[in-house]
Amino acid sequence: MADVTLKDVAVRAGVHVATASRALDPDRRHLVNAETRQRVEAVARELGYRINVLARGLRKGSTGLIGVVVADLGNPFLPPILRGVEEVLGPRGYLIAVSETHEDPETLRRVCEQLVARRVEGIVISAAHAGDGDFLATVEQSVPVVLAVRRVSGGGHHTVTHDDVLGARLVTEHLVKLGHRRLAQLRGPQDVSSFAGRARGFQDVLTEYGCTEVTTGEPAREPTTAEGRRLAAALLAAGGPRPTAIVAQNDLMAIGALDALGEAGLRCPEDISIVGYNDAPLTGHLTPPLTTVRLPSHALGRRVATTMLSQLDQNQEPPTTVALEPELVIRASTAAPADEEPEVVRAVRSRDRREARRR
């Protein structure tokens, strides 16, 4: 607990604190006589001196702290993002303070207040909901903000995200090309841009290919296994034609759907194909291994950090939104529908029939 101050070092080294300060600062050491500097350094080491970052920050008006606000630390795509952020910001001397909102807007507010009061130099937010734009604008008056993963409606913020529309297109087209024409979607909370984007990609493909959506109506209250199971069960229990494929907006809901299928005595992919989103750990080890969408989370983290750096360097660039491209991961939970024939097959058949009649 012994707090050695710069003054202690200076006295012991027989110099003024200012000199000691210079000698110990990498950026100003060259202003000091080499011999003096070495003496100061020696004493500092001997006394176990550690600079008080607080005092320096107060004087220089900088804390070297970057706040990162996430919705849920348990989300498995976060670690690669955090690692990417840290990889870039750490070597620049920044320390990362992580806070969690649990998806609660009130907590988001509180946490941002906290961070601003602590004079963090920037805030990375990956916990935004669609309607948080106005609030974030006020935060941005105090400190640079970079949105990660989730956008807010209205734009106007530096944003680095995944291209969710594209990702959803990728999986949905994959299913359509397998021959699926009646698809259902398991939606997450639509005030989160990721889920909203995935919904749009899905819809777009359905429209383009003239497919039918079988719908349960409501989205999941939370994007969890339990909710996925509940929604999928409702889907299967409903009257009317069953979908041949289910697009879950994340892996957890896909797993819930898998459970619901099993309980209904149906098989995946024989009876119904299921896809997830995120490529969470172990999804490749499920039965069946899950077809899903892989996100470049680590790259996203790095990109978030560089975006933040350029803001910190006062490069007053206008807000941009960059969307990184996800990747389709095809595994065994998707196959051609059993009761319906793929387009090509049908085309061939009808041609055959036509020819047969002609003879």
Q: Binding residues for DNA, per CB under 7 A?
A: 3, 5-7, 14-19, 21-22, 24-25, 28, 31-37, 49, 51-52, 55-56, 58-61
Between residues 58 and 266, which has the closer beta carbon with respect to DNA? 58
Which of a second copy, DNA, none does residue 113 bind (CB under 5 to 8 Å by kind)? a second copy
* 3 state SS of 98: strand
Two structure tokens written together for 106: 């009130």
Stretch that binds a second copy, among 53-61, 239-247, 270-278, 316-324 (CB under 8 A): 53-61
Range 133-140, long-range pairs (CB < 8 A, 24+ positions): 133/157, 135/105, 135/108, 135/109, 139/112
* Edge-to-edge strand list for the sheet holding 212-214: 212-214, 182-186, 245-248, 273-275
- Amino acid identity of residue 195, one-letter, is F
Q: Is the Cβ–Cβ distance between 296 and 326 less than 8 Å?
A: yes
Residue 136 Cβ, how far from DNA at the closest point, in Å?
23
Which of a second copy, DNA, none does residue 132 bind (CB under 5 to 8 Å by kind)? none
Q: Is the Cβ–Cβ distance between 189 and 222 less than 8 Å?
A: yes
Residue 95 Cβ, how far from a second copy at the closest point, in Å?
6
Question: Which helix (DSSP H) or strand (DSSP E) does residue 275 occupy?
Answer: strand 273-275
Two structure tokens written together for 47: 């006394």
Among 63, 249, 250, 334, binds a second copy (CB under 8 A): 63
**Per rule CB under 8 A, is residue 17 in the interface with a second copy?**
no
Which of DNA, a second copy, none does residue 60 bind (CB under 5 to 8 Å by kind)? DNA
- Amino acid identity of residue 104, one-letter, is D
Which of DNA, a second copy, none does residue 97 bind (CB under 5 to 8 Å by kind)? a second copy
Among 193, 244, 250, 283, binds a second copy (CB under 8 A): 283
**Per rule CB under 8 A, is residue 19 in the interface with a second copy?**
no
**Per rule CB under 8 A, is residue 258 in the interface with a second copy?**
yes
**Per rule CB under 8 A, is residue 266 in the interface with a second copy?**
no
Residue 64 Cβ, how far from a second copy at the closest point, in Å?
8
Between residues 113 and 352, which has the closer beta carbon with respect to DNA? 113
Query: Distance between CA 59 and CA 271 in Å, rounded?
Result: 67
Which of a second copy, DNA, none does residue 250 bind (CB under 5 to 8 Å by kind)? none
Among 99, 101, 161, 278, binds a second copy (CB under 8 A): 99
**Per rule CB under 8 A, is residue 359 in the interface with a second copy?**
no
Residue identified by tokens 């670690």 is 79
**Per rule CB under 8 A, is residue 52 in the interface with a second copy?**
yes
**Per rule CB under 8 A, is residue 287 in the interface with a second copy?**
yes
Query: Distance between CA 29 and CA 41 in Å, rounded?
Result: 10
Q: What is the CA radius of gyration of the chain?
A: 28
Instruction: Give the end-to-end CA distance of the chain in Å, rounded to a whole number.
Output: 99
Q: What are phi and psi of 326, to 5 degrees?
A: -85, 180
Q: What are phi and psi of 124, to 5 degrees?
A: -100, 130
Tell me the number of residues near a second copy by CB under 8 A: 50
Query: Distance between CA 345 and CA 181 in Å, rounded?
Result: 14
Q: What is the DSSP letter of 126?
A: S
**Per rule CB under 8 A, is residue 80 in the interface with a second copy?**
yes
For a second copy, the binding residues in 193-252 under the rule CB under 8 A are none
By CB under 8 A, name the binding residues for a second copy. 1-3, 50-55, 57-58, 63-65, 72-74, 76, 78-80, 82-83, 86, 95-100, 113-119, 141-143, 255, 258-259, 280-283, 285-287
